Amino acid sequence: MTATTSSQLKSTKEQEDWMEAQGPFEGPEKLLELWFAEGPEELFCTSTSSHPAKAQTQGQGQLRRLGLKGVPREQWEEMLDIVKCKVLSVIESDEVDAYLLSESSMFVFPHKLILKTCGTTTLLLGLERLLEIAFSALSPLLPHLTTKLPRPKSASRSEESTGDPSLQRALGSLVSRCFYSRKSFMFPERQKGPHRDWMTEVATLDAFFTNGSAYTVGKMNGDHWLLYMAADQAQGEAGARLRLRPPPPVALTQGMQQGHAKQAVQDQTLEILMTSLSPASCARYYFADDSSAASGGDAADVAGLETSTQTTTTSKGQRLGVALASQLGLTNLFAETHVDAFAFEPCGFSANAVVLNPNSSNISGNGAEGRMDGYWTIHITPEEGSSYASFETNVVPTTSSTSGALTNAAADERPQDLTSLINHVISTFEPGKMSITLFVSNEMHAEREVGEADAEERTADAAAAAWQGNSSVLHKLQIKGYQRTDRIAYEFERYDLVFVSFEKVVG
């Protein structure tokens, strides 16, 4: 695990260029998740197929520079310039690079990317450049990316978009899964580009994807959540049907080749979006210029990370951020967690974490075993009248996943299931209102023949069933001191979604 940092924005003017200097800050983020392959094993097998002997000698750490993780940081920064945000620091594991941004976060896996930006950033204006970068990185690894992209001769890569429909369609065809979502904005009139209006955002995405579907989840006259989904052509449309009951605990994928079981993708994402934070909670995220806490954290607490040769010291914002993350108990939220955090002056806080999987990076010529390293990310805007906090993770514990003896007192305090994780987050940020969404993949291994699935597949299917059980848990969730104001469940082609909202009981 390594960490690199950027020197802080060099002048007040530059800082104002990239961060909202006047008026209330828009906390709710725009969230884009793009999958280019079902898993890193697809990339690894292709990269070693012509060198089978090499595959036997490449084990731990082989994913470090594979696929999207092999893209130089400078190329990502070029794309982020279009989005209007900057890289503050990066922590890296073998399987994911976590970029802490001036406005939220980016997570880069070998085969997928997650970009989350807040404020008045123009995330979708960077989509074309993002896809071009992905094409360059992945075309040598995935056979279906061999088509030459159309490119007008006059195109400049400093431009936000060429506006060329044939190029945008070709780039969109590279994506196997696209998810774009956001909470309803607090200050929609302050947004820029396509983000001024949801249907304009949908039209921008439709320019790339031929089979996208847009949804409004929740009350139009209250808190609601907006979602756009697109699948690759082979999967057909991402249509869904509204469900008023929890999704079933088991779902089997269809259409697999007879006599062979396809590796099912186990994927879930939990988002907790909170507003009207308590005054006491907001006060934790205001930082005076002479804050003594800025030196209260050990620089080595940047998760015990090995600092790269690019930077030998951490910034004041990082030291203060990591110290606060430790005080809030975030550094111990999950086992084997490496945290990067930043405190903004005069207020605001962001943190990324990479949650190491002890079974990850187990690569052979036959693919990868075990799930990938996970992540969580937190962002807080504590301004009075528009306070907001978000928590997102793809590490959602289940009762079965936490069985076994815990070895120390710190482990005893970690969330043991979905309910305890949600309660931990709520007690940390003390929101007046919140919405919670949980996406869970509903794919499992198809049986070769009845009763003949091997032990590895049965174990994976049991884990998938436990994950899907989290959907039912969230659907039934009750939180002390809060009343539920909405509850909706969707069943999509490959995912189940549960959305619930709560409001604090007054008095």
- With tokens 């910034």, the residue in question is 315
Closest to 322 measured CA to CA, from 298, 347, 354: 298
Sheet holding 337-343, edge to edge: 241-243, 482-491, 495-504, 433-441, 268-275, 388-393, 374-381, 349-355, 337-343
Separation CA 160–CA 2 (nearest Å): 31
Active-site annotation holds for 379: yes
Residue 393 phi/psi, 5° resolution?
A: -155, 155
Active-site annotation holds for 260: no
* DSSP, residue by residue, 340-370: EEEE-SSB-EEEEEEE--TTTTEEETTEEES
Catalytic residue among 85, 118, 178, 282: 118
- 151 contacts: CB under 8 Å, gap ≥ 6: 162, 164, 167
In the DSSP assignment, the letter for residue 286 is B
Active-site annotation holds for 104: yes
Separation CA 436–CA 454 (nearest Å): 36
CA–CA–CA angle 434, 436, 437 (5° rounding): 150
Give the SS3 label for residue 427.
Answer: helix
Closest to 102 measured CA to CA, from 91, 118, 122: 118
Helix-strand-coil percent breakdown of the chain, rounded to 5? 30, 25, 45
Residue type, 158: S
Active-site annotation holds for 350: yes
Catalytic residue among 29, 92, 103, 443: 29
Active-site annotation holds for 144: no
Catalytic residue among 379, 392, 501, 503: 379
Separation CA 261–CA 116 (nearest Å): 34
Catalytic residue among 104, 360, 441, 471: 104
Catalytic residue among 26, 95, 103, 443: 26
Catalytic residue among 89, 102, 213, 350: 350
C-beta atoms surrounding 405 within 10 Å: 5
CA–CA–CA angle 438, 234, 238 (5° rounding): 35
Sheet holding 87-92, edge to edge: 213-218, 224-231, 177-183, 30-35, 112-117, 104-108, 97-101, 87-92, 2-5, 306-307
Mind telling me the catalytic residues?
26, 29, 104, 118, 350, 379
